[in-house]
Each structure stands twice: as C-alpha cells, then as structure tokens.
Structure 1
C-alpha cells in the first residue's frame, strides 16, 4: 500500500472539503477560507498562502449574504 492510500484510508474524506495545491492546506468549504463575493460568483482563497482555490457561480442573494457575513461578528 502506498503512503497516499494509507493517508486516504486513515482519514475519512468529506465531500465539501477544499484543498490548496500550493501549500496543502485543507478545510471544509465553510471553514477558514477567505471568501469574496463578486456579483454572480464567489472566490475562495487559501488563508495560509493566498492562492485562489476556486471561483463558484452563485446567485446575487447568496453573494450578498456571504459579503454581509464577512463583516459581521458574532455578538454584534
């Protein structure tokens, strides 16, 4: 068994996990990624190295909600 197979078997994979190919950071999609809304799409950027991981299409209401959540703090 290769080390890749051992790693995959020892750690269950989540469907909604993003991986940074530049620095190997991994986190759930709702995890610690930097998220920036741009009208009809949302960019996910690695918090460790700043690499753009993905850009996903979204509707305007979802993008607006993401933008509001970025600037709101729990307890405000």
Structure 2
C-alpha cells in the first residue's frame, strides 16, 4: 500500500488560516497585525490599515 500525497484541497484549507479585511485589501494571519479593541465586550479585531472591524465575537 502506498501513501498518497496531500490533495490540493487540503493545501487550500491550510492556507485559509488568515483574516481578510472586508473594507480594504489588507490580509494577515489570525495572530498577525490586527488591532485588538479592548473596550468592546468579547473579542473585536480591527484592521490596522483602515480601522474596519474584522472580528466581532460576543463575550461568553
């Protein structure tokens, strides 16, 4: 039995570990240069380029 190389689909899933700004072309890894808004309840990340909210999750 031989092992198959990873498929193109699994490579794409691995590459999708970043965030994309909905308002401008900025993209970065999840732990990249996004700005955390500590004044918001829960977790809110904003784009360092244009200030748009990228992640807005309520507190548990």
TM band (smaller chain): 0.5 to 0.7
Q: Considering only aligned residues, what root-mean-square deviation do their CA atoms show, in Å?
A: 2.5
| TM-score, L = length of structure 2 | 0.61
- Structure number with bigger Rg: 2
Where is the helix percentage greater, Structure 1 or Structure 2? 1
Gaps of 5+ in 2: 1-11
Hey, which bits of structure 1, 4+ residues long, moved more than 3 A? 37-40
Q: Which residue of 2 aligns with 1:3?
A: none
Counterpart position of 1:20 = 21
